[in-house]
């Protein structure tokens, strides 16, 4: 097996289609796709390339990478997690190779470090196998979409969950789709949520470009819960046939807890994902310590906690150069 690097600017449309088709066939996400990474690269001013693995000229794995420069050093990231792209990493044909082999062949130059974020580990690929790279575990919550909408609501959901959703509807809460042309409605709610939570405010232009790029294919939607004449909670979903991901959210800072607009919003998101045809709905992260209330809401929908991982690789020479740069530049 050989692994090459190929700049996204050097990948023609035919090869982009091949990569994107490979991603969907092998349990990949929207975040792995070439179009998404072109948008992210422009928005966050990175250089972007793909590691591509071949066996006898047959593609068996891909991994998008973004690069930031720090003096003579290059910081490689398999996803821009600090900019609301939570997952990345290798997508590969499991009949042909393994994550252990791919990580071994993910070679770095002497002046590079790699912060590697994996994809959602529904298949438990082996990031915690003894002798593998040391990894940090994070969690998300997955809701499988195998059953019908009626079965999900009436059988899968507990009575308490159904009552919360119905309560929101009786109180007059409605969920509407927000056009990409009106994305500022979402951006205002997103900023309000992040400022209250002490989180980094997102980049409006990034949201806007993603909405514009995927709206025509109906692979993105912004849903917003409305109370009377005010939008109080919102969410952007991005989708392929493997996963619909509850990507980014926005909420009013001061909303009573008994409106249950978030439960209704998640339910309508599940309906949208099921109608789209995804196999799974991802609630995009689980942090029971920093965001306990949000974690409780997510876990009320599903107890299927799935890991994803972060691995940091640095060469000895990178560490030396980094120390020298820090001394002489600062």
Q: Answer with the residue of higher pLDDT: 170 or 327.
A: 170
Q: Could you tell me if 204 and 316 lie in one domain?
A: no
Paired strand residues for 310: 117, 136
- Note the pLDDT of residue 328: 67
Q: Could you tell me if 7 and 132 lie in one domain?
A: yes
Range of 323's domain?
2-138+308-329
- Note the pLDDT of residue 131: 56
262 falls within a domain: yes
Long-range contacts of 126-135 (CB under 8 A, 24+ apart): 126/98, 126/99, 126/100, 127/99, 127/307, 127/309, 127/311, 128/309, 129/100, 132/100, 132/103, 133/103, 133/311, 133/313, 134/311, 135/309, 135/310, 135/311
3-state secondary structure of 86: coil
Which of 56-65, 206-215, 226-235, 247-256 is predicted least confidently? 247-256
- The conformation of residue 154, written as its DSSP 8-state character, comes to I
- Note the pLDDT of residue 133: 64
Q: Could you tell me if 248 and 182 lie in one domain?
A: yes
Read off the pLDDT of residues 167-190 as tens digits, 9 standing for 90 and up: 999 999 999 999 988 999 999 999
216 falls within a domain: yes
294 falls within a domain: no
162 falls within a domain: yes
Q: Could you tell me if 115 and 166 lie in one domain?
A: no
38 falls within a domain: yes
| Residues 6+ positions from 89 with CB-CB distance below 8 Å | 63, 78, 79, 116, 117, 118, 119
Read off the pLDDT of residues 241-256 as tens digits, 9 standing for 90 and up: 999 999 999 999 888 8
Structure tokens at 241: 């046939």
Distance between CA atoms of residues 164 and 41, nearest Å: 41
Overall domain count for the chain: 2
Nearest one of 5, 67, 80 to 36, comparing CA atoms: 80
Give the other-Cβ count within 10 Å of 58's Cβ. 10
Boundary residue ending a domain (238, 260, 278): 278
252 falls within a domain: yes
Q: Could you tell me if 120 and 9 lie in one domain?
A: yes
Q: Would you say 245 and 239 are in contact if contact means Cβ atoms under 8 Å apart?
A: yes
Nearest one of 141, 85, 86 to 297, comparing CA atoms: 141
Q: Could you tell me if 9 and 130 lie in one domain?
A: yes
Q: Could you tell me if 235 and 323 lie in one domain?
A: no
Q: Could you tell me if 159 and 270 lie in one domain?
A: yes
Q: Could you tell me if 129 and 198 lie in one domain?
A: no
- CATH classification of the domain holding 73: 3.40.630
Q: Could you tell me if 104 and 161 lie in one domain?
A: no
291 falls within a domain: no
pLDDT of residue 191 exceeding 60: yes
Q: Quick one: pLDDT band at residue 124, thresholds 50, 70, 90?
A: confident
Distance between CA atoms of residues 281 and 262, nearest Å: 16
301 falls within a domain: no
Q: Could you tell me if 182 and 74 lie in one domain?
A: no
Distance between CA atoms of residues 68 and 49, nearest Å: 12
Paired strand residues for 136: 310
Distance between CA atoms of residues 55 and 310, nearest Å: 26
Q: Distances in Å between the alpha carbon of 287 and those of 3, 7, 283, 292?
A: 35, 34, 11, 7
Which of 239-243, 290-294, 302-306 is predicted least confidently? 290-294
Distance between CA atoms of residues 291 and 190, nearest Å: 16
Q: Could you tell me if 9 and 129 lie in one domain?
A: yes
Percent helix / strand / coil, the chain, rounded to 5: 40, 30, 30
- CATH classification of the domain holding 170: 3.40.630.30
Read off the pLDDT of residues 216-229 as tens digits, 9 standing for 90 and up: 999 999 999 999 98
Nearest one of 110, 121, 111 to 88, comparing CA atoms: 121
């Amino acid at each position: 097996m050989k692994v090459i690097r190929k700049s996204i600017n050097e990948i023609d449309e035919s090869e982009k289609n091949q990569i994107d088709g490979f991603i969907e066939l092998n349990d990949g996400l929207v975040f792995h796709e070439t179009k998404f990474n072109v948008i992210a690269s422009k928005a966050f001013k990175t250089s972007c390339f793909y590691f591509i693995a071949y066996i006898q000229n047959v593609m068996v794995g891909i991994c998008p990478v973004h690069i930031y420069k720090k003096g003579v050093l290059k910081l490689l990231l398999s996803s821009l997690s600090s900019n609301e792209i939570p997952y990345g990493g290798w997508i590969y044909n499991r009949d042909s190779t393994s994550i252990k082999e791919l990580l071994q062949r993910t070679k770095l130059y002497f002046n590079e470090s790699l912060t590697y974020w994996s994809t959602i580990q529904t298949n438990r690929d082996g990031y915690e196998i003894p002798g593998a790279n040391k990894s940090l575990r994070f969690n998300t919550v997955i809701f499988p979409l195998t059953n019908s909408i009626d079965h999900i609501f009436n059988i899968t959901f507990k009575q308490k969950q159904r009552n919360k959703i119905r309560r929101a509807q009786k109180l007059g809460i409605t969920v509407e789709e927000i056009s990409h042309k009106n994305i500022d409605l979402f951006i205002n709610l997103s900023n309000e949520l992040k400022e209250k939570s002490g989180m980094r405010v997102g980049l409006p232009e990034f949201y806007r470009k993603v909405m514009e790029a995927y709206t025509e294919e109906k692979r993105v939607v912004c849903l917003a819960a409305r109370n009377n004449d005010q939008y109080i909670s919102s969410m952007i979903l991005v989708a392929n046939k493997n996963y619909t991901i509850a990507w980014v959210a926005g909420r009013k800072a001061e909303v009573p807890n008994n409106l249950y607009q978030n439960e209704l919003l998640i339910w309508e998101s599940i309906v949208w994902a099921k109608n789209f045809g995804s196999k799974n709905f991802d609630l995009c992260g689980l942090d029971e310590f920093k965001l306990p209330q949000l974690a409780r809401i997510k876990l009320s929908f599903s107890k299927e906690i799935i890991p994803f991982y972060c691995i940091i690789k640095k060469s000895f020479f990178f560490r030396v150069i980094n120390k020298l740069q820090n001394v002489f530049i600062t």
